[in-house]
Amino acid sequence: MMKIYTFSLLICLFSKLQGHSKSDINLGFTLTLSSPVVYTPGFMGKAYIKETESSSTREPAFKAALTMESSDDNRRYVCSLQVFIGDVRVWNSGHYSKMYVFNKCIFELSKDGDMRLKSSNKHVGWRSGTSGQGVERLEIQSTGNLVLLDAMNLIKWQSFNFPTDVMLSGQRLDVATQLTSFPKDSTLFYSFKVLRDKIALFINLNKLKYSYWEYKPTENKTVNFVRLGSKGLELFDDNSHIIGRIEQPLIRFMAIGNKTGNLGLYSYKPEKGKFEASFQAVSNTCDLPVACKPYGICTLSKSCSCIEVASDGHCNINEEEGHLMKKRLCDHEMVELEGVTTVLRNGTEARDVSKERCEELCKKDCECRAASYSVSDERC
């Protein structure tokens, strides 16, 4: 009964908003999404605010939407402003900091030019910070860039300046900027970073950061920024000359997956009616940073084999056992596995040490879960 009610609510919202989909969003515009009367797990409310004219009938248009999603946190809902191409979310105002509400999610382009998200008690949970800057209206460009413009059509705020886990065609990322992807119910996250000597993928856990894929420009040239263009992902130097390219034509966006951490370049497949990755940075499953469950080893057959002394042989460790293992990390035993390598790089290293010393260093560190030791160069 509740699912029928939710569906009816969405149909009602969409029908009321059809008149706004392609018109200007000017100062003073407001829009409210309301939750079901009874808290509904799995609820997703979406009201489209603005839509681009699609450049092709074979490809979906970009749409900006106010969204309201159920959360497992104290029976609240997450309120956000999002950009979609088809059914793929490519930008989210709540990517780094979620805004929680109980019953209403309110979008407002205020009279003084500030774009805001508010709750039912008028608390502002997110804002563009453009009050008093001469903003006249909100638009979504053909590239998917959500912008606030003044009377001279100058951009005062744009979503391209706040990258999330997706980079769109035409978008630029400067050195020291990044894309980030947060797996659900996990303390780790993945990141794609633009560095002076390369672009790279990292897995981040607390204060630790490990690289697992990288691409360097030719002749060790210095990177200034990257741009997703018509020919693929391009790297530029300080003089805006192309110094490297991952070539893939007709790419619509690049995204870093929140499950695997893999980086993909996506194009639209009209015959299938969906976007698919035409390029993936990591092509081998075992080269992904988390290819297996905890205490699992990825084998040459691309299947996972588990350490039996640490689990039941199938990597099945319940939550209680997991907490106990973490508590024992300061006084734990270690199992030696020969011939095992890791794709993770740039971790903390100790050089010119014995295998026994490497084991001792890990045992003393309460955060250490494993150590890789190279016999040939005595590196831990």
Q: pLDDT digit string (tens) for 354-365?
A: 999 998 888 888
User: With bands split at pLDDT 50, 70 and 90, how would you rate the model's confidence at 328?
Assistant: low
Tens digit of pLDDT for each residue in 183-216?
987 889 999 999 999 999 999 988 889 999 999 9
The CB-side HSE value for 215 (13 A sphere, CA atoms) comes to 18
SS3 state of residue 62: strand
Tell me what pLDDT residue 182 has: 94
Tell me what pLDDT residue 375 has: 85
Tokens 């194009």 map to which residue? 267
Can you list the domains of the chain with their CATH numbers? 2-161 (2.90.10.10), 166-282 (2.90.10), 296-364 (no CATH)
Tell me what pLDDT residue 200 has: 98
Task: Output the average pLDDT for the chain.
Answer: 87
For range 45-63, the mean pLDDT: 85
Tell me what pLDDT residue 313 has: 52
Report the distance separating Cα 312 and Cα 315, nearest Å.
6
User: With bands split at pLDDT 50, 70 and 90, how would you rate the model's confidence at 9?
Assistant: very low
Q: Exposed (0-12), middle (13-18) or buried (19+): which is 271, by Cβ within 10 Å?
A: exposed
Q: How many residues does the chain have?
A: 380
For range 73-85, the mean pLDDT: 93
Tens digit of pLDDT for each residue in 207-216?
889 999 999 9
Tell me what pLDDT residue 335 has: 82
Report the distance separating Cα 279 and Cα 182, nearest Å.
21
Tell me what pLDDT residue 8 has: 30
Contact 142, 52 (CB under 8 A): yes
Tens digit of pLDDT for each residue in 260-317?
999 999 999 999 999 999 999 999 999 999 998 888 889 888 888 887 665 555 566 5
**Which pTM was predicted?**
0.86
For range 322-339, the mean pLDDT: 67
Tokens coding 345: 């790089």
